[in-house]
A and B are shown apart, each in its own frame.
Chain A
């Protein structure tokens, strides 16, 4: 398997009960880089992300055609272990989603699902909190409720929760949408650290963020992939008229 492609999306269509959300998507996502999926609202960005870890399976009446493969393995193959797949692909949502339990229990949630022993949990939780740059702020109150953390801290907590599982891919759906500029900067800094080890697919909060963090980018409009390529090229010299119009703010 070539290491040039981590996720390969081929002729992929997705529909909700009555709405076509993605049309004929063909896209290769390279490993250990940040790929930004951007475009106006309702262009299919979140659907694309949720198709990658099959969270879309939960939606009643939805369906797809085409294939998505992770390291060459078709993720929609009936033989695929869905639990294993989701552990390999972590997802961070647009709003912080701490569960109503302690900081420790939140971070250890994924590990506890597969029944790991206490000492192992402690080590992994500490390591994950350090990677998400949250450890110093919470190390003295790991057993306090996660709901008492600030928005930025909660989002980093959610990041740590994903990192405990040591996934290969991170899906980030507008991870900074509820955050102030300082928290946003610290999340972006974290992303730059993380891309050394992880393949990251991000729906950026805005175009400025996309151009700050992304290595590659794809522009989506009405469920179609309009243009994709290296970020510097897309953001400075887009080839497609619609991409250019969107980037220059003619619509959006």
Chain B
């Protein structure tokens, strides 16, 4: 019953948005930039903005998060510093996203003078998704059989070789799944993004350009009553984008697993 109602709610949401949004989706909608505040034209600059922001977030959060997970799992066991880091990431995971937005605004936008930009927004999103990346990476590293490590060490592997050649390749699918979850969160975020990346509709030209992501666009179109039609269109496009990213990633992960098994 619970499972059924979950699915029912999901289908209802999808149905509502796609019914209103799909008729708006023409090729021009994807390849035109917004005109008149988004009332006319398409959403190209917001698609680019969304992708740029997400890529920056992933680029910063992945090495940091996976590195932390490796450190926690393979280099310290139950040490004081390990417990401190775990406590820190747990706290970070519980912080509401708007607080990340405020932090990003005060620190990246004003203090480091990066302004409303892809970089400020991306770094803020990186901080926000970091706990997810760390905990999923740690879980998947933990799931790698102990025997892989024993084999690698017994053949004269150093710690680093063991981690990079025996442990990480097996943990990779899990780590990627974690990153994928984070990408979803980062794409859907609005409040923190408005505070750190702005809401400009101009096509970005560099990492320091302000942008408007699709979620923010959707929010502003609907909130300010600019055009519900375009808002639904953006929503539908957003759902499609997330769907495509997920399918692509799962396909890649499956290929990888099949290749090794």
Contact = CB atoms under 8 A, between A and B. Distances in A.
Interface in B235-261: 259-261
Interface residues of B, number: 22
Contact of A97 (B151, B165, B260): B151
Contact of A109 (B147, B149, B150, B165): B165
B151 A100 contact: no
Interface string B208-241: 0000000000000000000000000000000000
Query: Interface range on chain A: under 10, 10 to 19, 20 to 34, or 35 or more?
Result: 20 to 34
B77 A145 contact: no
A109 B149 CA distance: 12
A204 interface: no
B155 A55 contact: no
A101 interface: yes
Contacts of A148: 261
A182 interface: no
Contact of A147 (B165, B169, B261): B261
Nearest to A147: B261
B152 interface: yes
A93 B154 CA distance: 10
Interface in B129-169: 147-158, 161, 165-166, 169
Most B Cβ at <10 Å: residue of A84, A110, A161: A110
Contacts of A97: 147-148, 150-151
A247 interface: no
A121 interface: no
Contacts of A1: none
Contact of B260 (A86, A145, A158): A145
B170 interface: yes
Contacts of A110: 155-157
Given A109-B165, A147-B261, A93 B156 contact: no
A55 B151 contact: no
B151 A113 contact: no
A99 B261 contact: no
Interface string A85-105: 011001101010101110000
B147 A100 contact: no
Nearest to B156: A87
Most A Cβ at <10 Å: residue of B152, B154, B161, B169: B154
Given A83-B156, A110-B156, A60 B77 contact: yes
Contact of A99 (B77, B148, B158, B161): B148
A210 interface: no
A114 interface: yes
A58 interface: yes
A105 B196 CA distance: 47
Contacts of B152: 99, 109
B156 A100 contact: no
Nearest to B150: A55
A243 interface: no
A93 B150 contact: yes
Given A93-B150, A95-B147, A113-B161, A100 B261 contact: yes
Interface of B: 77-78, 147-158, 161, 165-166, 169-170, 259-261
23 contacts: A53-B154, A58-B149, A58-B150, A60-B77, A60-B78, A83-B157, A83-B158, A86-B153, A86-B156, A91-B154, A95-B147, A97-B147, A97-B150, A99-B148, A99-B166, A100-B169, A109-B155, A110-B155, A113-B155, A145-B259, A145-B261, A148-B261, A161-B155
Given A99-B148, A100-B170, 18 more contacts: A55-B153, A58-B149, A58-B150, A58-B153, A83-B156, A86-B154, A86-B156, A90-B155, A97-B147, A97-B151, A99-B166, A101-B260, A110-B155, A110-B156, A113-B165, A147-B260, A158-B151, A161-B155
